[in-house]
A and B are shown apart, each in its own frame.
Chain A
Amino acid sequence: MRISYEWLGDFLDLDGVTPKDAADVLTRLGVEVESLTMVDLSNIVIGKVLEQKPHPKSRTPLWIHQVDIGVRVEQIIAGAPNAVPGTLVPVALPGTTVPNGKVVKDMNIAGFKASGMLCSADELMLGEDHSGILLLDRGKPGDPLTSIIPSQAIMEAEITSNRPDCMGHLGVARELAAGLGRPMKRDFMPSFTGTADPPGRELVKVSVDDPDLCSRYIGGVIKGVRVGRSPDWMQRRLRACGVRPINNIVDITNYVLFEYAQPLHAFDLARLNGPAIHVRRAREKEKLLSLDGVVRDLTPDMLVIADALRPVAIAGVIGGEETAVTTATTDILLESANFNGASVRQTSRALGLRTEASSRFERALPPELALAGARRAASLIAELAGGTVHREWADVYPRPQQPVRVILRPALIDDVLGTHVPLEEAESILKRLNFHVKVMGDGEWDVLPPVFRLDVTIPEDLVEEVGRVHGYDRVPPTLPGRRHERWTPATPSLDRRLDAIREVLAGAGYSETWSPALVSGRQLEALRIAAHAMRVSNPLSDDMDTLRTSLLPSLMDAMALNRDRGRLDIRIYEIAEAYLARVGDHNGGQPEEPLRLAALASAGATADEGRDALYRLKSVLDGCVAAMSAPSCMYDRASAELFHPGRCAAVMLDGRQLGYIGELHPTVSAGAGIDGRVVAFEVDVEPMVAESRIPRAQPLPRFPRVQRDLAVIVDETVAAGVLHTAIKEVAGDLLEHVRAFDEYRGAQVSEGHKSVAFTLTFRSPERTLTDAEVDKVMAEIKLGLEKRHRARFRE
């Protein structure tokens, strides 16, 4: 909300308090001032236009003015025609900087001297209007403009949702007064009431259908008003709040909104049918032409103000054009009501229309405010627009606001804050904030919050009131530390345990990404991995409408992006959740959220490059598993969505499938916009963590090892992994380690066969092995492989 410093001065003495001081005090109290704009008007003078002639030579229309600035008459040229002789205008003389930053210079415009500038409201930052010169309604030529308009300071403040009372200057002033320890010059409830007969409630009948949606409706009748221009000071303050002045009646309702935070509406009484007011739900297919010129389709969950025939306003949101106050209006019905916040919010959302009124009602205003606002507006109308205010307004108040009492054990203040606030200070703070405090016999305080503070309901709320005025910066920082009889031993977090994997991946040249979990559902469907996808029912856009079921599409997008930006060799990974709706439970219950590790690497262009890259990636995955101190994983040939049909393996850990590793299917990588081959894996992390063991030290070998190579020629279809298993099974205890290191097809091997070369390491923990011993085991291995896989051997 925008707060005018000048306006705050209506309610308390601001002597010696600069706008910056006020902003600091308010921020400390919880009204966070986000920016402060100072408008210095001290170097602008008041001028009186003596003569206005069109510029004879200029191609664009310009006007030459003779302006009396007290000590002399200056010739000033302007583009707007509204500064006619006799008007009072703000003048910026050469050498001055006007508030919007423009520097005024002596000029010569097409042969005519121009000594200064006539200022618009926009240039003086007194409003947005830049269509003409700002005309003044009083002032003496030559006097500084500040003799009639004080220099301005506008604060942009963030009002928390629990404080609707601070959505008006009165509430903000009250905070400031409490913070500064200065008295308020004005009471909350104005004493003004109407006196004219007959009673207003006899002139307009008011009925309310649903007290839950409208807890109060006041309709005041004022007759014989003169609709016209509102005074400069009011227009200026409205502009400061970002509102365009319209006419005195509408301006007054807006003014009271920005003062009291109570939204008001004025109907032209003559244009109301009945005249009667019926607060009801809209009927099917009803429409309303609203004040902003839009025809609004109404639905039965919207609350409207209707006359005898039709809706005339949408409750708490906007009024109707057909019953609006115009220059022809003489009699008005002034509405000051209290509408249900949730209902107003819902309506305002449905209409896509947020107004100053709706943003206040949404925060749940106190019904007592309606009367204060109505009285304030009526007194301003009587003062500024004439008119007779009728006595005894219609006031339908089916749910009177109930006072809330809060019992406070004053020691709670020190207990919660962790500092000592003397009781007298605490009591005085509450009183400054208009709370009534009664000290009871047992020392407890019976506290009655003011009617405009519906947010205070529990003792802790009172602690907050005391704390923020006392000053939270005065509370010494401490660390909690008591004698605990119970504790939880420290355990590393899951993410910290996974740092072991990150170390392996960093060493292998893989960089970590964090990509959004909300992805395009269409993309998942195209990849055929949308079966368990959770769809957001109110997405921001269709590229973020579904929770990902796999990390791979995100990594593919990341790879495509980096390739577009000139990177060729890309290795990336991510550790994050996938989201899988439980079977038969689409969007009905919470999904599974398995933590996944996925990696992606570019793998050249040729089939051989792709194969080599995949073998390297397997080593990376093995390294990750080893870093978690989990048993080694096994790879079984498999087929899976996203993967190349001939180059994909299921990753198995202790009989459980962790996920897949392989080369991406060429159509998948091409579809993601990646040219060239890509290898990838995606595995569940939790089984790896579950299988993780503390490594136990093994005694270092005391005897030398013996290494032998073995080239096994088998049928194409026999996998290296199978041979590996067979070798281990046949070899017995002396075989320490076996690893395939080469695969060969070609001239030396017959058609349909391949040669797989293994390195075997033998060692005994008890003695140095002899060649004869090793030869014997090798012979057994060969025999076993011959029998099981019809293997032959290359020398």
Chain B
Amino acid sequence: MTDPSALTAEAVAAIGKAQTSAELERLEVEYLGRKSGRVSKLLEGIDKLSPEERAALGKAVNESKRAIEEALSGRRSQLEENRLADLAETEAIDVTFPGPPLDRGHVHVLTQVRRQIETVLESLGYQVELGPEVETEWYNFEALNITAGHPAREMWDSFYFSPELLLRAHTSPVQIHAMQRIKEPPIYIITPGRCYRRDAPEATRLPYFSQVEGLAVDKGLTFGDLKGTLLYMIQSLYGRERKVRVRPSFFPFTEPSFEFDVSCGICGGMGCKSCRHKGWLEVGGCGMVHPQVLRNGGIDPAQWNGYAWGFGIERMAMLKHDVDDIRLFYESDLRFLEQF
């Protein structure tokens, strides 16, 4: 019969020497296995012993079990500690090795810019209004105070389907639709959408483009409000250091009319190559809504007044992302689209 304490000592020594958890597992089975473990075997023939001897042996065996279990768990945590301490060497990988390419699709840069514009103007309380691209002559011209034979019609050389039907030259017709629908101001809307003009494609313009126009109709609106709105919009899109310049111009649907420029982001207005030494980059047109246009939309100009402004989404994107050829937006070359 083996002496329990000798067996314990032997087991503890073996456990102390074990180098892997597999080894420990094997030792656990060898010594503590429920039926064939060597500690259990100490009890073989116990029924032949006297009650006193029996009690003593039982106690010794239990002590042996506990001691071995203790040694096992001690050695286990030691091995685990060692393993963790060595991770830097044992599991090191080359972290400079690249991951596999991510098949990420890209939202079109014009969608992104349109999204930014909508977000900025929605924060001022403007809401998006949409309208048809194939418009009637009345909504595209007449209602906007651009009467037949008006010299300004030259500015909007249009594509026609019939003398009465054309592709809208601007999103301004949506302003009239909106006034007719909403009827009672206040009206604060923006009108993003595609427009068409009969201009041959070149680096700075295309026969198709996208515009956003804003319209506010309320009581007591001023040119100062228009100017502040433009400044808020430009600074929100391009940064608070940007300035806005408003120059007198002419549009039949606004009086007074203006064009607005943003200070060059490269030279800050001092003049450089990219702004052609002007210090300013043209953005769009704006003005106080002509009383006749309000009347055409069914709104009484004696009670209400308004301001409106418009610009090209492509132009905004070109200024924001340094795109020098407007045709790139519509060419669908993934090498371009994936840059944004």
**Docked complex: B64-114 residues within 8 A CB-CB of A:** 103-108, 110-111, 114
A635 to B: closest C-beta gap in Å: 23
A516 close to B133 (CB less than 8 A): no
- Beyond A511-B334, A512-B105, A518-B208, whether A418 also contacts B224 by CB under 8 A is yes
CB distance from B318 to the nearest CB of A (A): 14
CA distance A496 to B256 in the complex (A): 33
Report whether B133 and A514 are in contact in the complex, using a CB–CB cutoff of 8 Å: no
| Partner of A510 from B105, B160, B222, B229 at Cβ < 8 Å | B105
The complex places the Cα of A345 from the Cα of B150 at a distance, in Å, of 10
Give residues 1-55 of A contacting B (CB, 8 Å).
Answer: 27-30, 32, 35
Q: Of A30, A35, A463, A507, which is in contact with the most chain B CB atoms at under 10 Å from its CB?
A: A30
Chain B residue with Cβ nearest A419:
B224
Q: Let me know if B331 is at the binding interface, CB within 8 A.
A: yes
Q: How far is the CA of A572 from the CA of B336 in the complex (A)?
A: 13
Are the C-beta atoms of B220 and A512 separated by less than 8 Å?
no
For B231, give the chain A residue with the smallest CB separation.
A477
In angstroms, Cα B194 to Cα A740, docked, is 43
- Check A418 against B247 for contact (C-beta < 8 Å): no
* B256 A160 Cβ-Cβ under 8 A: no
Contact of B105 among A458, A467, A505, A593 (CB under 8 A): A505
Q: Is A478 an interface residue (CB 8 A)?
A: yes
Whether A512 and B223, one on each chain, are in contact in the complex, defined by CB atoms closer than 8 angstroms, is no
CA distance A450 to B282 in the complex (A): 32
Stretch at the interface among A66-74, A89-97, A441-449, A582-590: A582-590
A468→B255 CA distance, assembly (Å): 12
Contact between A479 and B134, CB atoms less than 8 A apart? no
0 or 1 for each of A616-650: is its CB under 8 Å from B? (1 = yes)? 00000000000000000000000000000000000
Interface 9-residue window, one of B8-16, B28-36, B122-130:
B122-130
Which A548-606 residues have C-beta < 8 A from chain B?
A: 554, 557-558, 561-562, 565, 567, 570-573, 577, 579, 587-591, 593
- Across-interface contacts of A83 in B (CB, < 8 A): none
Chain B interface: which of A225-233, A327-335, A392-400, A480-488? Answer: A480-488
B residues less than 8 Å from A562 (CB atoms): 332-334
Identify A472's interface contact among B106, B115, B220, B258, CB under 8 A: B258
Contact of A494 among B128, B136, B256, B257 (CB under 8 A): B128
Contact call A496/B115, Cβ cutoff below 8 A: yes
A547 CB-CB contact with B under 8 Å: yes
A293 close to B (CB within 8 Å)? no
Per-residue A-contact encoding for B147-174, CB less than 8 Å = 1, 0 else: 0110110110001111001010000000
Q: Which residues of A contact B103 (CB under 8 A)?
A: 508-509
Closest to A534 in B: B161
Please, which residue of chain B has its CB at the minimum distance from the CB of A567? B334
Instruction: Tell me, yes or no, whether A415 is within 8 Å of chain B by CB.
Output: yes
Q: Indicate whether A143 reaches chain B with its CB closer than 8 angstroms.
A: no
Cα(A561)–Cα(B336), bound, Å: 12
Q: What's the nearest-Cβ distance from chain B to residue A547, in Å?
A: 7
Please report which residues of chain B, range 214-249, place their CB below 8 angstroms from some CB of chain A when the two chains form the complex: 216, 218-225, 227-232, 244-249
B208 x A460 contact (CB < 8 A): no
Asked whether, in the complex, the Cβ of A472 is within 8 Å of the Cβ of B223, the reply is yes
Chain A interface size, under 10 / 10 to 19 / 20 to 34 / 35 or more: 35 or more
**In the bound complex, how far is the Cα of B111 from the Cα of A505, in angstroms?**
14
**What is the CA–CA distance of A535 and B288 in the complex, to the nearest angstrom?**
36
Which residue of B186, B196, B225 contacts A487 across the interface (Cβ within 8 Å)?
Answer: B186
Q: Note all chain B residues with C-beta closer than 8 A to A577.
A: 133, 194
Are B162 and A537 touching (Cβ within 8 A)?
A: yes
**B92 → A minimal CB distance (Å):** 33
A30 touches B249 (CB 8 A): yes
Contact among A479, A486, A495, A515 with B225 in the assembled complex (CB-CB below 8 Å) = A479
Assess whether A472 is in contact with B135, with CB atoms less than 8 Å apart.
Answer: no
Tell me how many residue pairs across A and B have CB atoms closer than 8 Å: 239
Query: Is there an interface contact between A511 and B337, defined as CB atoms closer than 8 Å?
Result: yes
Partner of A484, one of B165, B186, B333: B186
Return the contact of A587 from the options B135, B165, B198, B332 (Cβ within 8 A).
B165
For chain A residues 421-479, which have a beta carbon within 8 Å of chain B? 458, 460-461, 463-464, 467-468, 472-473, 475-479
**Of A461, A512, A540, the contact of B198 (CB 8 Å cutoff):** A540
Residues of A within 8 Å of B221, CB to CB, are 480
The answer to whether B159 touches A538, judged by C-beta atoms less than 8 angstroms apart, is yes
Once A486-B186, A590-B136 are accepted as A-B contacts, the answer to whether A536 and B161 lie under 8 Å apart by CB is: yes
Q: How many angstroms from the CA of A482 to the CA of B103 in the assembled complex?
A: 49
Asked whether, in the complex, the Cβ of B162 is within 8 Å of the Cβ of A478, the reply is no
Out of A363, A418, A419, A488, name the residue touching B127 (CB < 8 Å). Answer: A488
Q: Are A460 and B223 in contact (CB-based, < 8 A)?
A: no
A363 and B246 CA atoms in complex are apart in Å by 24
> Which chain B residues numbered 313 to 340 have a C-beta less than 8 Å away from chain A?
329-335, 337-338
In the bound complex, do residue B105 and residue A509 qualify as a contact, i.e. CB atoms below 8 Å apart? yes
Which residues of A in the span 504-538 have a Cβ within 8 Å of any Cβ on B? Answer: 505-518, 534-538
Tell me which residues across on chain B come within 8 A of A463, comparing CB atoms: 255-256
* B291, CB-defined interface residue at 8 Å: yes
Closest Cβ of chain A to B306, distance in Å, is 10
Tell me, yes or no, whether A162 is within 8 Å of chain B by CB. Answer: yes
B6 to chain A, nearest CB (A): 51
CB–CB B225/A478 < 8 A: yes
Chain A positions 379-427 with a Cβ under 8 Å from a chain B Cβ: 415-419
Chain B's nearest CB lies how many Å from the CB of A309? Answer: 32
Smallest Cβ distance from A386 to chain B, in angstroms?
39
Q: Taking the complex as formed, is A342 at the interface, i.e. its CB lies under 8 A from any CB of chain B?
A: yes
Docked Cα-Cα span, A587 to B110, in Å, equals 30
- Knowing A418-B225, A464-B248, A537-B162 touch, does A518 contact B207 (C-beta < 8 A)? yes
B107 in contact with A515 (CB, 8 Å): no
- Is there an interface contact between A458 and B255, defined as CB atoms closer than 8 Å? yes
Judged by a CB distance under 8 angstroms, whether A544 is at the interface is: yes
**Chain A residues near B210 (CB-CB < 8 A):** 514
* Residue contact B159 to A539, C-beta cutoff 8 Å: yes
Contact of A479 among B124, B206, B258 (CB under 8 A): B124
Interface 0/1 of A212-254, CB less than 8 Å to B: 0000000000000000000000000000000000000000000
Establish whether residues B127 and A161, one from each chain, have CB atoms under 8 Å apart when the complex forms.
no
Of the A-B pairs whose beta carbons lie under 8 Å apart in the complex, a sample of 13, sorted by A's number, is: A32-B259, A161-B250, A345-B154, A418-B225, A472-B246, A478-B222, A478-B225, A487-B186, A513-B108, A518-B196, A540-B200, A562-B333, A590-B136
Given contacts A362-B151, A460-B290, A572-B334, could you give 8 more A-B pairs where the C-beta distance is less than 8 Å? A478-B228, A496-B115, A499-B115, A509-B104, A509-B105, A547-B167, A590-B132, A593-B134
The chain B residues found within 8 Å of chain A, CB to CB, are 103-108, 110-111, 114-115, 118, 122, 124-125, 127-128, 130, 132-136, 148-149, 151-152, 154-155, 159-162, 165, 167, 182, 184, 186, 192, 194, 196, 198, 200, 206-208, 210, 216, 218-225, 227-232, 244-250, 255-259, 276, 288, 290-291, 305, 329-335, 337-338
Please list the residues of chain A having a beta carbon within 8 angstroms of any beta carbon in chain B: 27-30, 32, 35, 160-163, 341-342, 345, 362-364, 415-419, 458, 460-461, 463-464, 467-468, 472-473, 475-480, 482, 484, 486-488, 490-491, 493-496, 499, 502, 505-518, 534-540, 544, 547, 554, 557-558, 561-562, 565, 567, 570-573, 577, 579, 587-591, 593
Which 3 residue pairs of A and B lie closest in terms of their CB atoms, listed nearest first?
A418-B222, A418-B224, A30-B248
